[in-house]
């Protein structure tokens, strides 16, 4: 029986590129399910939680569809990959939209990039390629990926975990911020692996073969 990978669809954004990238690296060895059905998520072996848009809209969509509890349960029980907003909403609170409460799976804040850095105006959102320094160099999802490899980012807000040991990767953009987190069976990143060329595809390959242990 082939492995099942659930990509959680809660009505926020076009997830086709995520599904296609996973299907490409799975090479027929896993079935990729784009789903909003909690039962399908429950029977899946791996779960991917993408997201885009504003924090308040994402949280409203999760609660309206009942997928907030599904995400929390999956993050407690399966190899779990959060992407972009799918990383941010795992935190406690976001500054976005005047302040938005998040899923609080991990304690931490989501902060906006400063308007200025080192006396120069900072272009926000960060949009384009930037490097990730692998803080947790031995994490299985970084296998075969060189330290400071380039990944593709599009975001105005970044994660600031309360526990520094949660940080798996860091990136510099006006500030040094946490661009990847890892704890037990959960890995999440701010960048888009599905848009990040070979480094991103390798990370997705690693995720598919990952058993959820560090």
pLDDT lower than 70: segments of the chain: 1
What Å distances lie between residue 105 and 19, 34, 71, 117, 147, CA to CA?
25, 23, 10, 30, 27
pLDDT, residue 8, reads 95
Taking alpha carbons only, the member of 140, 131, 143 closest to residue 190 is: 131
Residue 48: strand, helix, or coil: strand
pLDDT of residue 14: 75
Nearest to 153 by CA among 137, 131, 183, 135: 131
Tell me, yes or no, if 27 is annotated catalytic. Answer: no
Query: Among the options 46, 139, 155, 192, which is catalytic?
Result: 192
Rounded to an integer, what distance in angstroms lies between the CA atom of residue 45 and that of residue 178? 27
Write down the catalytic residue from 84, 96, 134, 139.
Answer: 84
Residues in the chain: 214
Report domain 3-209's class.
alpha beta
**In angstroms, what CA-CA distances link 85 with 3, 119, 146, 153?**
25, 29, 25, 11
- pLDDT at position 1 is 54
Beta bridge partners of 60: none
- Residue-level pLDDT at 11: 84
Catalytic residue among 46, 96, 155, 194: 194
Q: What does the pLDDT look like over 147-162, one tens digit per residue?
A: 999 999 999 999 999 9
Dump pLDDT digits (tens) for 125-140: 999 999 999 999 999 9
- Start-to-end Cα distance in the chain: 25
Number of helices (H), then strands (E), belonging to the chain: the values are: 6, 15
DSSP assignment of 101-144 equals E---SS-EEEEEPPSEETTEEPPSSEEEEEEEEESSTT-GGGTT
In degrees, rounded to 5, the angle at the alpha carbon of residue 64 between the alpha carbons of residues 12 and 55 is 50
Query: Which value, in Å, is the radius of gyration of the alpha carbons in the chain?
Result: 16
Tell me which residue of 82, 191, 205, 202 sits closest to 132, measured CA to CA. Answer: 191
pTM for the whole thing?
0.97
Residue 27 neighbours by CB under 8 Å, 6+ apart: none
State yes or no: is 194 an active-site residue. yes
Residue 59, phi then psi, degrees to nearest 5: -65, -40
Domain definitions of the chain by residue range: 3-209
């Amino acid at each position: 029986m082939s492995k099942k990978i659930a990509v959680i669809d809660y009505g926020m954004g076009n997830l086709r590129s995520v599904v296609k990238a996973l299907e490409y690296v799975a090479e027929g060895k896993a079935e990729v399910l784009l789903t909003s059905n909690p039962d399908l998520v429950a029977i899946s072996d791996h779960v991917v939680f993408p997201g885009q848009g504003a924090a308040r809209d994402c949280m409203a969509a999760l609660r309206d569809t009942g997928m907030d509890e599904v995400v929390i349960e999956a993050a407690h029980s399966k190899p779990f990959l959060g992407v972009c907003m799918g990383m941010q909403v795992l935190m406690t609170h976001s500054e976005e939209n005047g302040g938005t409460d998040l899923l609080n799976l991990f304690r931490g804040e989501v902060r906006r990039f400063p308007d200025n850095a080192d006396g120069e105006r900072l272009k926000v959102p960060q949009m384009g390629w930037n490097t990730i320094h692998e803080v947790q160099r031995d994490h299985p999802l970084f296998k075969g990926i060189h330290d400071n490899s380039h990944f593709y980012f599009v975001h105005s807000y970044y994660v600031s975990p309360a526990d520094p040991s949660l940080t798996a990767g860091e990136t510099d953009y006006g500030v040094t911020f946490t661009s990847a987190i890892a704890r037990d069976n959960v890995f999440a990143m701010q960048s888009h692996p599905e848009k990040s060329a070979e480094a991103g595809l390798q990370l997705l390959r690693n995720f598919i073969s990952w058993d959820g242990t560090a």
